[in-house]
């Protein structure tokens, strides 16, 4: 009990030092605790956000018949099943916006977290429709208005051949389904929905007798086992039963981040940095306790009691300091996560975060106290009482009266003062430097990952060639032949600053090549069968085909890629329209562009193709015969026009011929070429221009980078870097102030020998800034090395993988400058908030102070 009272008495008498020690411990704990909590909270908030936006169901089922749905519902693992009957798609033929049309079920709508506006449909001709889709159609105040829509069903006939059934119907909008804008930014896309009564009469004969809906499991931990079991027992495909995609993505990201090599390395670095930050402050403050231990020994306190007292002192420091750090870390983490995730934010404090925090505190405090107590007990009582790291008598004689006020002497004085205790100086610089390096590393790695994504994250960015930006319809929410880019938009884009050219084209990916199976490459058929998608045929009569219509400028642009035959800019008339054939695909199996589509195809061959067309108010397929005028090099799809992932052949028409065959007059895709350095500004302008236009999609060379920016890692990276800046700032303030607190006697001696308060401030400021400058220089050197090593690694991996594009070597000036500015400013602030210690210095008390 006496030992505890002694420890508390010491802490009470040495308030400044106690505060400094607890601040140092709290700072270090905040660093490591916040990093772990932010990571866990960020991903948990992402999961919560996904559930708020998309629904909290466990699994989604699709394209199942009524009997299979019943069997699914009977499974013992099922807590609840909510489903609706899927009927067909509906399309606004004026702008191409499409939606899924389903039978109305309020429970299903609520399970997807839609906000319902209006009333439910009660009779034939009434419809509840997604509000966003209506906005994209350009319809204002839609409730109780009539809308003409085409019902569209793409299906496989009894011979497994793709067909289209379509018809037109007028609907009255009686209800709207609202979602926040963030829902439509989902990484995995979305599909707009509409609902009608089950008794509604539809003008098409081929209605899908299939169901879709949500599943809630009793135990979500076993969802993987349940899915695999259903695949086997009910013979389901991956598109029939799958996870709540956005929630699953968040769960996967959390696990991938938590157990990644980079995270483990960063965690180790964090523990080291946190321990060093804490140890450094403790070393500065507690090192001056050696003479106090000598005093305790002089008055007869046994060594065992001294050790016990310091163990109690350490325990109090550990508990209180760690709790302060965890509290501060929790507040910062919550604020950071709240800013990023808003109402979906949640604070997740894992037991490992608490364990690591206490572990760091225990290690740093125990080692500090052990070294100091052991060192003092080894010394004689007289030596330990005399022990001081302050200026000795020679300090009084070191300078003449003239030198005491001279500028040079201050610098010499500061320089000698810094290096007088080399171990403390090295620890101080190391602690400050490591936090700076951690900030630079975090920021540099984020930048490098963006650069790497642009090169290696997919085939598309490098496949555009001299096309920088594309504008087209969203693949899941628009119909190619009805989506159109009007002349007003094209002219606006052409006039945009930084745009060199804007070339519109016709583009249709829902076409087919009708050809005998023996003439088709077996490699292509294998690739097609691997993808296992809804509405895939047996691939023995028709095969996917991408059809494009180019103007003369674009045909000239691809002239160098024509391998056999000739371009179609100037072609003679004949029995059939002339086309350029792209006869290869990118094979995911062999990672090559050499996989052929048609075996032994030649210039002059006649091909039969099937295109969706709009004729007599209906969409349907029609077949045409075309003549191969030229065949493209394999490199075309890899390096020009941006279609490397299409699994099938491609044909390119002259745009006049395409119009004549299909009766399609409006362009539905735009290629944009921009000046160097103008890609992102132009892209942003186009996105703003078309944000409410027919679910338009802006793609091109920057599309994968945009995907990366929207990921949780990017969001968390912003919080991490903010935390690093905060920790760097507070770390500098705590260390500088701790140095001042520990030098009260030294400062008193300097005042006693005639140095002014102003000169004292200059000395402390110069000393602090020296720390800042040295820290910044070292952090810059290490940061440049990290950046160089990272770029070298990316380039080596890229070249080995067959990519020709590499990252240029750069110096992270922005990050280095940030560390330098923060270091210098925080040194000024630290001295400023400690000026009371200098201005109110009592010389007599300070000199006699025997801490």
Interacting residues of 478 by C-beta distance below 8 A, sequence separation 6+: 96, 97, 98, 694, 695
Residue 343 has what DSSP assignment? Answer: G
Residue 119 and residue 12 share a domain: no
How far does CA 577 lie from the centroid of its chain? Answer: 47
Tokens of 309: 């007292």
Residue 513 and residue 367 share a domain: no
Q: Which pLDDT score is estimated for 391? A: 44
* Domain boundary, last residue among 356, 379, 402: 379
Expressed in angstroms, the distance from the first to the final Cα of the chain is 24
Tokens of 187: 């990484």
Kind of pairing, strands 78-91 and 469-473? unpaired
408 falls in which pLDDT band (50, 70, 90)? low
Q: Average pLDDT, stretch 805-826?
A: 78
* Range with lowest mean pLDDT among 64-78, 435-449, 516-530: 435-449
Share of the chain above pLDDT 90, in %: 41
Q: Which of 312, 307, 413, 318 is nearest to 360 (CA)?
A: 318
Per-residue pLDDT tens over the stretch 383-399: 666 655 444 444 444 44
Residue 257 and residue 355 share a domain: yes
Q: Which of 707, 828, 718 is nearest to 769 (CA)?
A: 828
Asked whether the predicted pLDDT for residue 458 surpasses 70, the reply is no
How many distinct helices (H) and strands (E) make up the chain? 29, 22
Angle at 762 between CA 759 and CA 768, to 5 degrees: 145
Q: Which pLDDT score is estimated for 394? A: 45
Asked whether the predicted pLDDT for residue 699 surpasses 70, the reply is yes
Residue 221 buriedness (CB in 10 A; 0-12 / 13-18 / 19+): exposed
Residue 659 and residue 511 share a domain: yes
Cα separation, 582 vs 636, in Å, equals 8
Asked whether the predicted pLDDT for residue 131 surpasses 50, the reply is yes
Q: Which of 440, 450, 352 is nearest to 40 (CA)?
A: 352
Interacting residues of 368 by C-beta distance below 8 A, sequence separation 6+: 279, 282, 283, 286
Query: Which residues on adjacent β-strands are paired with residue 618?
Result: 615
Tokens of 11: 């802490």
User: Which is more confidently placed, 144 or 574?
Assistant: 144
User: Which is more confidently placed, 623 or 288?
Assistant: 623
Asked whether the predicted pLDDT for residue 401 surpasses 70, the reply is no
Q: Does residue 386 form part of some domain?
A: no
* Range with lowest mean pLDDT among 528-537, 570-579, 765-774: 528-537
Q: Which pLDDT score is estimated for 396? A: 44
Q: Average pLDDT, stretch 798-806?
A: 58
**Mean per-residue pLDDT of the chain:** 83
Q: Does residue 395 form part of some domain?
A: no
Residue 363 has what DSSP assignment? Answer: H
Residue 660 and residue 517 share a domain: yes
217: left (phi over 0), alpha (psi -120 to 50) or beta: beta
Q: Which pLDDT score is estimated for 850? A: 47
* Domain boundary, last residue among 680, 700, 720: 700
% helix, strand, coil for the chain, step of 5: 55, 20, 25
Tokens of 25: 């411990």
Residue 73's alpha-carbon distances to 79, 214, 218, 226, in angstroms, are 9, 11, 12, 13
Per-residue pLDDT tens over the stretch 701-749: 877 665 554 555 556 666 666 766 776 677 677 667 666 666 666 667 7
Q: Does residue 793 form part of some domain?
A: yes
Kind of pairing, strands 193-196 and 618-632? unpaired
> Which domain covers residue 763, as residue numbers?
410-457+703-850
Asked whether the predicted pLDDT for residue 848 surpasses 60, the reply is no
Q: Average pLDDT, stretch 415-424?
A: 66
Cα separation, 777 vs 304, in Å, equals 45
Q: Which pLDDT score is estimated for 209? A: 83
Per-residue pLDDT tens over the stretch 568-594: 998 777 889 999 999 999 887 777 888
Q: Which pLDDT score is estimated for 742? A: 63
Interacting residues of 405 by C-beta distance below 8 A, sequence separation 6+: 756, 759
1 falls in which pLDDT band (50, 70, 90)? low
Cα separation, 212 vs 239, in Å, equals 11
How many other β-carbons are positioned within 10 Å of the β-carbon of residue 332?
20
Asked whether the predicted pLDDT for residue 405 surpasses 60, the reply is no
* Range with lowest mean pLDDT among 86-100, 251-265, 401-415: 401-415
Residue 330 and residue 309 share a domain: yes
* Domain boundary, last residue among 210, 243, 276: 243
Q: Does residue 388 form part of some domain?
A: no
* Range with lowest mean pLDDT among 127-136, 216-225, 789-798: 789-798
Q: Average pLDDT, stretch 131-147?
A: 96
Q: Are 607 and 630 in contact (CB under 8 A)?
A: no
Residue 708 and residue 694 share a domain: no
Asked whether the predicted pLDDT for residue 469 surpasses 80, the reply is yes
Angle at 768 between CA 764 and CA 769, to 5 degrees: 120
Q: Are 72 and 235 in contact (CB under 8 A)?
A: no
Q: Does residue 186 form part of some domain?
A: yes
Q: Which pLDDT score is estimated for 534? A: 60
Asked whether the predicted pLDDT for residue 639 surpasses 80, the reply is yes
Residue 88 and residue 36 share a domain: no
User: Which is more confidently placed, 774 or 476?
Assistant: 476
Q: Are 210 and 67 in contact (CB under 8 A)?
A: no
Asked whether the predicted pLDDT for residue 185 surpasses 80, the reply is yes
Q: Does residue 22 form part of some domain?
A: yes
* Range with lowest mean pLDDT among 62-66, 185-189, 506-510, 658-662: 185-189
Overall pTM > 0.85: no
Q: Which pLDDT score is estimated for 582? A: 96
Residue 613 and residue 528 share a domain: yes
Q: Average pLDDT, stretch 204-223?
A: 91
How far does CA 384 lie from the centroid of its chain? Answer: 56
Q: Does residue 821 form part of some domain?
A: yes
Asked whether the predicted pLDDT for residue 404 surpasses 50, the reply is no
Q: Which pLDDT score is estimated for 409? A: 58
Q: Which of 503, 629, 504, 507 is nearest to 568 (CA)?
A: 629
| Positive or negative torsion for Cα 501, 505, 510, 515 | negative
Q: Which pLDDT score is estimated for 402? A: 46
Helices 744-752 and 712-741 pack at an angle, to 10 degrees, of 50
Q: Are 56 and 358 in contact (CB under 8 A)?
A: no
User: Which is more confidently placed, 375 or 683?
Assistant: 683
User: Which is more confidently placed, 115 or 440?
Assistant: 115
Cα separation, 533 vs 554, in Å, equals 33
Q: Average pLDDT, stretch 612-631?
A: 95
Residue 219 and residue 92 share a domain: yes
How far does CA 102 lie from the centroid of its chain? Answer: 34
Cα separation, 82 vs 211, in Å, equals 10
75 falls in which pLDDT band (50, 70, 90)? very high
- When computed from its CA atoms, the radius of gyration of the chain, rounded to whole angstroms, is 36
Q: Average pLDDT, stretch 137-146?
A: 96
Tokens of 268: 């180790």
Per-residue pLDDT tens over the stretch 649-665: 999 999 999 999 998 99
Interacting residues of 44 by C-beta distance below 8 A, sequence separation 6+: 254, 346, 348
Tokens of 442: 């975090």
Q: Which of 552, 504, 557 is nearest to 665 (CA)?
A: 504
Cα separation, 780 vs 425, in Å, equals 19
303 falls in which pLDDT band (50, 70, 90)? confident
Residue 465 and residue 425 share a domain: no
Burial 762-776 (b: 16+ CB within 10 A, else e): bbbbbbbbbbbebbb
Per-residue pLDDT tens over the stretch 306-347: 788 878 888 888 899 899 989 988 988 888 778 776 666 788
Structural domain count, the chain: 4
Q: Average pLDDT, stretch 795-806?
A: 62
Q: Which pLDDT score is estimated for 393? A: 44
Residue 757 and residue 811 share a domain: yes
511 falls in which pLDDT band (50, 70, 90)? very high
Q: Does residue 544 form part of some domain?
A: yes
Angle at 553 between CA 547 and CA 559, to 5 degrees: 75
């Amino acid at each position: 009990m006496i030992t505890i009272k002694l420890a508390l008495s010491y802490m009470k008498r040495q308030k400044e030092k106690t505060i400094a020690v607890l601040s140092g411990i709290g700072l270090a704990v905040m660093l490591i605790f916040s990093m772990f909590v932010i990571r866990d909270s960020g991903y948990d908030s992402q999961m919560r956000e996904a559930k708020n936006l998309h629904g909290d169901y466990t699994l989604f089922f699709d394209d199942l018949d009524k009997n299979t749905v019943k069997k699914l519902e009977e499974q013992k693992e099922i807590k609840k099943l909510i489903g609706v009957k899927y009927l067909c798609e509906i399309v606004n033929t004026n702008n191409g916006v499409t939606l899924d049309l389903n039978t109305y079920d309020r429970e299903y709508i609520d399970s997807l977290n839609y906000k319902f506006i209006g009333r439910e449909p009660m009779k034939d001709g009434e419809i509840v429709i997604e509000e966003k889709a209506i906005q994209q159609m350009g319809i204002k105040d839609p409730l109780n208005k009539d809308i003409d829509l085409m019902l569209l069903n793409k299906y496989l006939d009894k011979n497994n051949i793709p067909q289209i059934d379509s018809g037109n119907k007028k609907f009255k909008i009686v209800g709207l389904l609202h979602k926040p804008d963030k829902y439509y930014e989902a990484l995995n896309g979305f599909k707009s929905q509409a609902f009608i009564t089950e008794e509604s009469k539809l003008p098409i004969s081929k209605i899908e007798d299939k169901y879709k809906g949500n599943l809630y499991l009793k135990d979500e931990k076993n969802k993987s086992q349940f899915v695999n079991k259903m695949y086997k027992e009910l013979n389901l495909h991956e598109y029939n039963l799958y996870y709540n995609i956005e929630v699953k993505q968040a769960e996967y990201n959390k696990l991938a981040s938590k157990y990644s090599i980079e995270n483990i390395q960063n965690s180790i670095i964090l523990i080291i940095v946190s321990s060093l930050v804490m140890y450094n402050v403790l070393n500065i403050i507690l090192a001056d306790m050696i003479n106090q231990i000598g005093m305790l020994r002089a008055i007869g306190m046994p060594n065992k009691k001294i050790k016990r007292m310091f163990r109690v002192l350490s325990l109090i420091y550990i508990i209180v300091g760690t709790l302060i750090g965890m509290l501060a870390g929790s507040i910062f983490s919550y604020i950071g996560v709240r800013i990023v995730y808003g109402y979906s934010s949640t604070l997740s404090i894992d037991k490992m975060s608490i364990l690591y925090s206490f572990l760091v505190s225990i290690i740093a405090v125990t080692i500090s106290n052990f070294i100091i107590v052991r060192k003092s007990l080894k010394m004689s009582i007289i030596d330990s009482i005399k022990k001081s790291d302050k200026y000795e008598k020679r300090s009084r004689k070191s300078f003449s009266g003239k030198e005491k006020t001279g500028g040079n002497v201050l610098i010499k004085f500061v320089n000698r003062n810094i290096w007088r205790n080399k171990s403390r100086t090295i620890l101080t610089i190391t602690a400050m430097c490591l936090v700076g390096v951690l900030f630079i590393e975090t920021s540099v790695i984020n930048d490098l990952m963006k650069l790497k994504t642009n090169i290696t994250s997919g085939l598309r960015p490098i496949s555009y060639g001299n096309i920088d930006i594309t504008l087209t319809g969203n693949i899941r929410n628009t119909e190619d032949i009805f989506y159109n880019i009007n002349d007003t938009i094209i002219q606006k884009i052409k006039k945009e600053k930084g745009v060199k050219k804007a070339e519109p084209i016709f583009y249709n990916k829902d076409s087919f090549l009708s050809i005998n199976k023996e003439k088709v490459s077996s490699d292509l058929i294998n690739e097609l069968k691997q993808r296992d998608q809804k509405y895939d045929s047996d691939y023995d009569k028709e095969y996917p085909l991408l059809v494009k219509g180019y103007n003369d400028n674009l045909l000239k642009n691809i002239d160098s890629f024509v391998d056999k035959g000739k371009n179609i800019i100037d072609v003679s008339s004949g029995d059939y329209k002339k086309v350029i054939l792209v006869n290869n695909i990118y094979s995911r199996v062999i990672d090559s562009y050499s996989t052929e589509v048609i075996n032994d195809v030649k210039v002059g061959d006649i091909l039969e193709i099937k295109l969706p067309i709009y004729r007599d108010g209906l969409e349907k397929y029609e077949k045409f015969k075309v003549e191969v005028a030229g065949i493209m090099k394999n490199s075309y799809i890899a390096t020009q026009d941006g279609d490397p992932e299409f699994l099938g052949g491609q044909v390119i028409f002259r745009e006049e011929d395409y119009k004549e065959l299909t009766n399609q007059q409006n362009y539905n895709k735009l290629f944009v070429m921009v000046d160097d350095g103008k890609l992102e500004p132009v892209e942003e302008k186009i996105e703003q221009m078309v944000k409410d236009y027919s679910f338009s999609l802006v793609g091109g060379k920057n599309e994968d980078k945009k995907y990366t920016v929207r990921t949780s890692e990017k969001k968390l990276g912003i919080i991490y870097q903010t935390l690093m800046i905060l920790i760097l700032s507070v770390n500098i303030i705590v260390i500088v102030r701790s140095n001042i607190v520990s030098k009260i006697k030294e400062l008193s001696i300097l005042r006693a020998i005639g140095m002014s308060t102003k000169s004292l401030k200059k000395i402390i400021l110069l000393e602090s800034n020296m720390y800042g400058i040295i820290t910044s220089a070292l952090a810059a050197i290490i940061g440049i090395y990290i950046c160089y090593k990272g770029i070298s690694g990316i380039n080596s991996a890229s070249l080995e993988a067959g990519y020709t594009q590499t990252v240029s070597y750069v110096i992270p000036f922005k990050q280095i400058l940030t560390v330098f500015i923060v270091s210098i400013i925080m040194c000024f602030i630290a001295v400023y908030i400690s000026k009371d210690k200098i201005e109110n210095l009592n010389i007599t008390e300070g000199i006699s102070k025997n801490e």
